[in-house]
């Protein structure tokens, strides 16, 4: 899958399926410094992923700051040809001062044996 460079950072698009609804999400940052995959609550509202009263909220922190997230299991997440079923994602505000719809973190990158090839500007999976 081709990496897109925006603000000198690597981005991809991904698709999720939840409750029979499918959604393509552009501008997802490939981030080896993030432990988990986090997607924008505003974007996920389109497939009815919303906070529920029984959700456990937790704070995540990174170099860019912190935010409160909740976790949801999606039916599938697809990046390029790689599909993971019944996959848990974090959902948060994603307010980082520029347009970003999500972070593809090490949880996904490691389990899929991802290779970030900067010479070819590609994200591949083992």
Residue 2's nearest CA partner among 78, 79, 77 is 79
Q: Is the pLDDT at 31 greater than 80, yes or no?
A: yes
Per domain, the residue ranges of the chain are 4-125
The C-alpha atoms of residue 35 and residue 16 are separated, in whole angstroms, by: 19
Residue 64 has pLDDT above 70, yes or no: no
pTM: 0.93
Q: Which pLDDT band holds residue 99 (cuts at 50, 70, 90)?
A: confident
CATH code linked to domain 4-125: 2.40.70.10
User: How high does pLDDT run on average in the chain?
Assistant: 94
Q: Residue 85: which residues within 8 A CB-CB, separation 6 or more?
A: 75, 76
With a cut of 90, say whether residue 98 has pLDDT above it. Answer: no
Instruction: Say how many CA atoms lie within 13 Å of 98 toward its Cβ.
Output: 9
User: Residue 63: is its pLDDT beyond 70?
Assistant: no
């Amino acid at each position: 899958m081709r990496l897109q460079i925006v603000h000198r950072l690597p981005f991809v698009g991904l698709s999720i399926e939840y409750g029979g609804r499918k959604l393509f999400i552009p501008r997802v940052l490939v981030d080896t410094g993030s432990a988990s995959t986090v997607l924008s609550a505003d974007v996920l509202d389109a497939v009815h992923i919303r906070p529920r009263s029984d959700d456990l909220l937790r704070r995540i922190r990174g170099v860019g700051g912190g935010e409160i997230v909740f976790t949801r299991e999606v039916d599938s997440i697809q990046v390029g040809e790689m599909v993971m079923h019944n996959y848990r994602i974090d959902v948060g505000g994603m307010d980082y001062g520029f347009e970003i719809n999500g972070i593809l973190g090490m949880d996904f990158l490691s389990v899929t044996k991802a290779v970030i090839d900067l010479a070819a500007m590609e994200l591949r999976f083992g």
